Chain A
């Protein structure tokens, strides 16, 4: 899961980056509305964690302009302004959730998971396909009832593939899920992780389409 954080406080931004990273998400952090707008225009994210009071304006304006452009990305407002009226204003402006500062990291992670789950049209916290079930909250997978623990990277690749099974994801699509902007992309990482995944969940579950990418093998085959 790739999340954009728009937060100007360096300590908090770092905390979100590291903290949500522990939950298997890949984080990109920007500090201003302008940078946030640019990031959303150029990259794909699964969710946005948006602060309201930013140096170059209100996060609410960013949210409003996003929604005006028809952007459907889930947005969680994270702000110190947490009067009821502020919450209402934020939600009515198009936010999917609202969390007041200070917050619990676990709860924030759960809420981010929840809004992105809804975005994908799922209600269940588990993603299942062809005998593989993903527990998004615990970062684990189970194959035919057997729980398998996965590394962060493995989980990220598997959940990306399982979000929309049948859709082929290229290597660079998967790299985008694995790395934030500042992270150095190691070559062959995707191949290495897919290889490890196959050995854990079964060779036949992930299909390689040579030259195109990877996808979950459909259940019928």
Chain B
């Protein structure tokens, strides 16, 4: 598990440990150096002292006491040190006890190191030619190392004791520091699935605050989406229940009516209602698909071909309606999603056909404006009352000039489909004659910005309540 606490704990313990180790090395090096200095100067001092003593006592006395054990007694003031007194011509005059017979150093004067019988010695040699004496004072390097090691042991022992204590303290502080996170997690865990109220931001450390804000923001968006979803569902339910209620009523009439005319009328109403409900279900599915926001593949499309395709595949209007497809459309190319454009054009065309009076003209055309391309369809129907123009693209809105087949979804679908194609829909009543002009506008300036049907379309349903 990727645990923040464990990670922090590990980092803190390792860095503390590393710092401690580095400090120990430093101390070790420093102590070693210092011990060497101190012991070296002691060697030096001792050698000079012996030399001066030897000179004041006279060589004779040393020579008399040349017995090794006796000489050793003479130099036992410091057991760590060994001392040899040689004459300059290479004769051992005296030595302290435990000191080897061999010369501790072959150097003339100053410091030197030599291995004698497996032991390393550090030796200072002092000479006095006037007295014909050479004094060698040395100590074993092994002793020095033991000395440094003892110091280090003294330092390290408390550290090893402190490590568990330190680890515990780090762990406890981490627990304390991470408590707001735990509280937040517990708060979230306690929630019901549908509880999307914002998380309390009071007392939240500022490091976690951005996360809590984002979380609350997400909650807000999810709540909004859920609300829209519910409204859509409620509306869809309503829109389906009403035709179903009609169907049921008509079916009951057909079953109970003894009059053949009433029964036939009821049956034809049933047929009509089934067709209308089928259409409504298809439209609801279309909306669900457009809502799901599947990425639309935009391609260059010849509008003329798409319009021709729609006009050809739809059954010709049974009224005396002329459909004109302006040739200019065949030289009009827009960037759009083919399916969405087909959907939009089919719905607009069906809409025009449905609202047409007994005789009329539907004209598809386009014009190039300085900002882009406008593809439009004009009919000679009743148009849309001015106050309803802004409402007709909203779902389930059925205006005053509604047709009996209308579900109130057609223009809403057109609006969504047109957006998916990167254009926008504009509806206006014709000024020259009665009728509606529906424009699909591709702005070249805003063409780079991909405009898609977003969830904002959902909000329209809410306004019905």
Of the candidate stretches A98-106, A116-124, A129-137, the one touching chain B is: A98-106
| Interface contact A53-B464, CB-CB below 8 Å | yes
B248 near A106 with CB under 8 A, answer no
Task: Determine which of B238, B241, B247, B253 lies in contact with A19 in the assembled complex, contact meaning CB atoms within 8 Å.
Answer: B253
Q: Looking across the interface, which residue of chain A has its beta carbon closest to that of B397?
A: A55
A16 touches B398 (CB 8 A): no
Which chain B residues lie closer than 8 Å to A9 at the CB level? 242-243, 245-246
Give residues 249-278 of B contacting A (CB, 8 Å). Answer: 249-250, 252-253, 256-257, 262, 265-266, 269, 272-273, 276
Residue of A19, A53, A81, A100 near B249 (CB, 8 A) is A19
Could you tell me which residues of chain A, from 14 to 34, have a CB within 8 Å of some CB in chain B? 14-16, 18-19, 22
In this assembly, does A8 line the interface, its C-beta being within 8 Å of a C-beta of chain B? yes
A8 and B398 form a contact (CB under 8 A):
yes
Q: Chain B nearest CB: distance from A205 CB in Å?
A: 28
Which of these, A16, A22, A55, A101, contacts B256 with CB under 8 Å?
A22
> When A22-B256, A101-B244 are in contact, do A14 and B250 touch as well, CB less than 8 Å?
yes
Specify which chain A residues have a CB less than 8 angstroms from the CB of B244 in the assembled complex.
101-102
Taking a contact as CB atoms under 8 Å apart, the answer to whether A106 and B241 are in contact is no
Q: How far is the CB of B195 from chain A (nearest CB, A)?
A: 20
Q: Which residues on B sit within 8 Å (CB–CB) of A104? A: 248, 252
Whether A101 touches B241, Cβ cut-off 8 Å, given contacts A8-B398, A14-B269, is yes
Give CA–CA (A80, B242) in the complex, Å.
Answer: 6
The CA of A48 and the CA of B351, in the complex, are separated in Å by 34
Q: Is the CB of B269 within 8 A of A11?
A: yes
Confirm or deny: A12 has a beta carbon within 8 angstroms of a beta carbon on chain B.
yes
A105 touches B276 (CB 8 A): no
Complex Cα spacing A105 to B248, Å: 8
Complex CA gap A44/B249 in Å reads 25
Q: Is B399's CB within 8 Å of the partner chain A? A: yes
Chain B contacts for A51, CB-based, 8 A: 242
Count of A interface residues, CB-CB < 8 Å: 26
Kindly state the separation between the CA atoms of A11 and B398 in the bound complex, as whole angstroms.
16
Would you call B234 an interface residue if the criterion is a C-beta within 8 Å of the partner chain's C-beta atoms?
Answer: yes
Asked if A149 is an interface residue, CB under 8 A from chain B, the answer is no
User: A108 to chain B: closest CB distance in Å?
Assistant: 8
A10 within 8 A of B: yes
Q: Verify B243–A11 contact, CB threshold 8 A.
A: yes
B400 proximal to A (CB < 8 A): yes
Q: Are A12 and B238 in contact (CB under 8 A)?
A: no
If A18-B266, A22-B256 touch, does A101 touch B402 (CB 8 Å cutoff)? no
Q: CA of A19 to CA of B270 in the docked complex: distance in angstroms?
A: 13
A15 and B253 contacting across the interface, CB-CB below 8 Å: yes
Measured CB to CB, the closest approach of chain A to B267, in angstroms, equals 12
Chain A residues with Cβ under 8 A from B239's Cβ? 80
Per-position binary interface string of chain B over residues 89-120, scored 1 when its CB falls under 8 Å from any chain A CB and 0 otherwise: 00000000000000000000000000000000
Is the CB of B237 closer than 8 A to any CB of chain A? yes
B214 within 8 A of A: no
Minimum distance in angstroms from A150 CB to a CB of chain B: 15
Name the B residues within 8 Å of A10 (CB-CB): 404
Min CB distance A50 to B, Å, is: 14
A103 neighbours in B (Cβ, 8 Å): 245, 248-249
Known: A55-B398, A101-B241, A101-B244. A12 touches B249 (CB 8 A): yes
B 320-346 to A, binary, CB cutoff 8 A, 1 in contact else 0: 000000000000000000000000000
B252 touches A80 (CB 8 A): no
Identity of the chain B residue whose Cβ is nearest the Cβ of A14 in the assembled complex: B269
A19 touches B245 (CB 8 A): no
CB distance from B462 to the nearest CB of A (A): 14
B125 to chain A, nearest CB (A): 109
Name the A residues within 8 Å of B245 (CB-CB). Answer: 9, 12, 15, 78, 80, 101-103
By the criterion CB–CB under 8 Å, are A15 and B399 in contact? Answer: no
Q: Are B256 and A12 in contact (CB under 8 A)?
A: no
Shortest beta-carbon distance from B99 to chain A in Å: 109
| A55-108 interface with B by 8 A CB criterion | 55, 78-81, 100-106
Question: Scoring B residues 273 to 317 as 1 if CB is less than 8 Å from chain A, else 0, what string do you get?
Answer: 100100000000000000000000000000000000000000000
Q: B242 and A18: CB pair below 8 A?
A: no
Contact B250 A15 (CB under 8 A): yes
Q: By the criterion CB–CB under 8 Å, are B253 and A11 in contact?
A: no
Task: Chain A residues near B247: list those with CB within 8 A.
Answer: 11, 102
Whether the Cβ atoms of A55 and B249 lie closer than 8 Å is no
Q: How far is the CB of A182 from chain B (nearest CB, A)?
A: 14
**Chain B hits for A80, CB < 8 A:** 237-242, 245
In the assembly, what is the distance between CA of A13 and CA of B272, in Å? Answer: 14
The answer to whether A55 and B402 touch across the interface, beta carbons within 8 angstroms, is yes
Bound state CA distance, A102 and B240, in angstroms?
A: 10
Q: Using Cβ atoms and an 8 Å threshold, which residues of chain B touch A81?
A: 234, 238
Q: Which residue of A lies closest to B464 (CB)?
A: A53
B404: chain A residues within 8 A (beta carbon): 10
Interface hub of A10, A22, A51, A103 (most chain B Cβ within 10 A): A10
Partner of B262, one of A11, A12, A18: A18
A78 and B400 alpha carbons, distance in the complex (Å):
21
A79 and B237 CA atoms in complex are apart in Å by 11
Are A55 and B399 neighbours in the complex by a CB distance under 8 Å? yes
Query: Which residues from A are CB-within-8-Å of B256?
Result: 22
Within 8 A of A (CB), among B195-251: 234, 237-250
Closest to A81 in B: B238
Q: Please report the C-alpha to C-alpha distance between residue A35 and residue B295 in the assembled complex, in whole angstroms.
A: 46
Contacts of B272 in A (CB 8 A): 11
Residues of B within 8 A of A (CB): 234, 237-250, 252-253, 256-257, 262, 265-266, 269, 272-273, 276, 398-400, 402, 404, 464
- 23 CB-based A-B contacts, threshold 8 Å: A8-B398, A11-B243, A11-B250, A11-B272, A11-B276, A14-B269, A15-B249, A15-B253, A18-B250, A18-B257, A19-B250, A19-B253, A53-B238, A55-B398, A80-B241, A80-B242, A100-B241, A101-B244, A102-B241, A102-B247, A105-B248, A105-B249, A105-B252
Q: Given contacts A10-B404, A15-B249, A55-B400, list 9 more A-B pairs with CB under 8 A.
A: A8-B398, A11-B247, A11-B250, A14-B246, A14-B250, A18-B253, A19-B252, A80-B245, A101-B244
